[in-house]
Amino acid sequence: MSKSSLFNKLDLDNDQKDTKMGEITSSLVTNQFEKYYIDLAKSEIVFDANENTNSLEKFSYNLAQSFCKINSISKNSNNKIFLASDAKINSQNCFNTFASVLTQNNYKVISVANSQLTPLQIHKYSAIKNNCENTILFKTQNNKIHIIFYDSAGFLLENQKMQEIINEIPHANFEKQNYQDAISKIEYVESYKDYLNEIANLYKNYEYLGKKSLKFGLDFSNYSASNFFKEGLEKLKLNVFYKTRKKDAKYFNLENQKYLKQIYWKGLFNGAKANFVINEDSSAINLCIKHKSLFKFFKPDELAAIYLHFLLTEDKNITKDELNKFVIAKNNHVGTLTKKIAEINGIQTIDFIDKSLIYKTVEKTDKKLLFAFTSNYEFLSHNSITNDFDAYQFLFEILRMINFYNAQKNKNLFEILEEIYKTYGRHQLTTKSYDLNAESAARFIERLKQSEKIGDKYKIVRFQELTNPNDSENLYQLSFQNKESTYIKYEQSNNLLKIYCETLENKSENDQELTMVVRNHEILNGLIDLKEDNQESKISKKSVIKFGLYFAVFAAIICFLFYTVYNIDDGSDSGPIAVISAIIKKLYTRFDIAGSARPESQGYLVRSAFAFMCLSFLATSIIHAWVFKKLIKLQGGYVKWNDVYTGTVIGLIVQTLTPKSIGGDLATYWFLRRRDVARPIMMSSIIINTCIWQLTNIISTIIFVPMGIVAFENFFKSDNPAVKFFILMLALGLIFDTGLAIISLIMTISIKVQNFIIKLVMALIEWFPFINIYDSFAVKAKFKYEFFNIRQCMKKIFKNPWNFIELVIIKMVPIFVLPNALLAKSLDMVKPDIKYGYYINMTVQAAITRVANSVSLTPGGTGTSDVLYKSIVHGSLQDTIYDAQNIESNASLITAMTTLGSVLMASTISAILLMIVYIGERRVDFYRKKAKNHRLLSSNDTTKNVKLSTNYYKISLSLFYIVLFILTVAFIFAH
């Protein structure tokens, strides 16, 4: 397939034209009316509602004249034309123009009074009831006016006839019209009311519908037409409540499950067993079903499978002997579960792209249509009274299924679906959408056409273009060796690429479900690798609010500490001013009391110790980075030292602001994933790193807690409430660290434990109403896929147990890096005769404080660690005569200086580096996309030099560390 055959209606050099969906074929029309185009697949004319009234009227007149001329060739005695409008101003103007022109050409115009109160789908019913030759609908949607043509049977007008009408437009001569005269001749009918009666008569005798039916919620997108349907529902006395609206919601494509959200929330508080939403033109319906305490959602193919299962097993009007006389029609890309059930039961299935051609396609099979459905949740039921996709009638089909299964089998539709999957095997359909301009989409399709494999192991056996290149939506099929297919759809009007990837459970495989899930993810990832990246990364509002909240909590804790834990009274001030003033006096000897002043050299020593405290995280990050790099290497991954070190350093600020310090590893994960370290390798590295960290805590506890009990015997015997709090936290910390280490290790190795955890997590997130899980299996499948990859990586790590032991030993090194011990010693705060010596003594304090603080939920553990540390360090300190501070004040000050240096200052440095990295990643994104696109676009004979990488990090990081070094030296030696 040549590149020119793809989206050839589009001007690829200027894809911003308004005729994206397909230019009108006549160049004369295109020149005269640049804002109009035809969509042959939908038999509709679409034009810009922002055009001026005169231009709109002129085009409507010419189009109406063209219709009359083409239609007159085959005109018979039936000259009735049905016109319908959504009553919006532009739609109504077109309606009036057509009515005038049709009346002049001796057509009898029929319509419905107050048409905005009647769904457009029902207008077609009225047209058929009144034997109208054609139906023409006018509706305004997204600032576009749509004129849709139907034949006498209610089907979309043939493409050939539509093309003839368009070709006639240039030959029409516009004349100003007297609309009032034409409007007065329109015959308004009420036959549409028969629709409600016909539906009521069809279902009124069904034993499971009526007052005893289960309670359900219903949301009509079309506010104006909702009363029409409510009138019909009242005839059957159903137990229903409604979403109250004051205007149209404008839900058109119900493929997006979010449109159920509003009725879902109302259903939560109204005891609903099911919730429904019906789209703007009443052609599509979506639902969620209450299963136990949760609401479950369905894909169109799943809902169709349940419907087919119901018709086959429970509907008395269909016998097994006549199954081979039926055919089911569906979208190509909607999934194959229904098709599999149908084929096993001897029912033929046909795939369609253009739904207007369903009946013509069915006619060729010499069979009857059982039902039809699309990926947009449009259903044409087996007993349809309109021969069209009718959401209102299919609502009753769903209701009779729900109430039948509840009354007869005490089951809901989700339980029936699970039974279907057990019988026919699981089908996983994953849909992904990407914004992509037409030029990039054409190249993406061309690459697929030339590819032999997707990823490393999925061989393409056939590539098919299923649509005409001139269609507004282009559909392609990739078929693989295992009889699975992936569909690619490109919507030219929205510049939207959609991938529909379906994989099937194969009973001949081991661990069938997991294998299916892995295959689904690998095919999707392989396809995405062939797509150019054109999206700009943005910071979401949600992220800003979340980290803003964390920062606010952190700031509030610090302020609270200044007035409580850190607080000292210097006789004139208290709170932050007194604390900061006392710290400055500690750092600089010139503020010492006369006669008790320290030598100036000691001031240098003090400031050096404090600077080391502020920067010590850069040293300990070397250890953490080495462990991460080692873990990645053991799994066969590769990462540069600079990258893993930078990722570790930027983790500190995120760690400081997040509960349980969980953000540190997440920041490292984010940065290294951007350096193309594989997700499974990073996930397993983080989990093993967490296990190692917990093990080091256990080991340090075994070593230091007994030492602490001996060294601080008097402290632990005290009746002080602070001591009791410390002992309680220490006990909880010991249990937490030990338990978490064991659980983490077992979780990464045992499949049974992983499945239990997945089940537990899914139950929790589905139960929580603020988390919307529309496809619980897809989320569960993602967890299973990640755990599968983690297990593979874990096997590599534990291949040599000595590697793990080495990592634990190295990970313990930072425990012995204790800047606050050096600072306290340089400040003459430490007693000369404390047990084990000052450094080991304070190392023991820090170790048992860390264990006790492990259950803290504050950001970075700040606050609780200060309370705990101050209570235990008190016994190791003495008065200082150079600033007249007693032991109590010194305990407050060393605690405050520890937090100021190792948390606030260190986090500030980490935050600055994070800002540098964020800016750098924007530059990396730019050049990465440029390099990928260049690789995908360039040919072998390309010789042009193109810059594909950035020097930003080399320059910015060098400057960062140089400036940091200069500021540190200046701080130490300035006095």
pLDDT at residue 22 is higher than 50: no
Average pLDDT over residues 853-864: 72
Structure tokens at 890: 């010194």
Q: How far apart are CA 250 and CA 279, in angstroms?
A: 7
The model's pTM is 0.72
Q: How far apart are CA 906 and CA 820, in angstroms?
A: 14
Condensed to tens digits (0 to 9), the pLDDT of residues 734-789 reads: 787 777 777 777 776 777 888 888 888 877 777 766 666 677 777 777 787 777 77
Superfamily of domain 195-424: Alpha-D-Glucose-1,6-Bisphosphate, subunit A, domain 3 (3.40.120.10)
How many other CB atoms are there within 10 angstroms of residue 795's CB atom? 12
195-424 shares its CATH topology with 427-529:
no
SS3 300: helix
Domain 33-190 sits in CATH at 3.40.120.10
Condensed to tens digits (0 to 9), the pLDDT of residues 234-275 reads: 888 899 999 988 888 888 889 888 899 999 999 988 999 999
Supply the DSSP symbol for 905.
Answer: I
Superfamily of domain 427-529: Alpha-D-phosphohexomutase, C-terminal domain (3.30.310.50)
Q: Which of 676, 671, 691, 673 is nearest to 627 (CA)?
A: 691
Q: How far apart are CA 960 and CA 915, in angstroms?
A: 11
Categorize the per-residue pLDDT at 431 as very low, low, confident or very high, splitting at 50, 70 and 90: very high
pLDDT at residue 319 is higher than 70: yes
Q: Answer for the pair 54, 176: CB distance below 8 angstroms, yes or no.
A: no
The length of the chain is 975
Q: Which residue has the higher pLDDT, 208 or 370?
A: 370
Q: How far apart are CA 795 and CA 812, in angstroms?
A: 24
Residue 218, phi then psi, degrees to nearest 5 = -140, 130
Q: Return the bridge partners of 430, or none.
A: 501
pLDDT of 943: 44
User: What is the domain partition of the chain in residue ranges?
Assistant: 33-190, 195-424, 427-529, 546-567+584-592+601-967
Cβ partners under 8 Å of residue 705, min gap 6 = 730, 734, 847, 848, 851
Distance of CA 58 to the CA centre of its chain: 45
Q: Return the bridge partners of 877, or none.
A: 830
Condensed to tens digits (0 to 9), the pLDDT of residues 612-664 reads: 999 998 999 999 999 989 988 888 888 999 999 998 998 887 777 666 556 67
Q: What is the mean pLDDT of the chain?
A: 83
SS3 163: helix
pLDDT of 17: 34
pLDDT of 303: 97
Structure tokens at 386: 């309109």
pLDDT of 794: 75
Q: Determine what percent of the chain is predicted with pLDDT higher than 90.
A: 30
Condensed to tens digits (0 to 9), the pLDDT of residues 694-735 reads: 788 888 888 888 898 888 888 888 887 878 888 888 888 778
Alpha helices in 768-863 (DSSP H): 776-797, 801-811, 819-826, 838-852
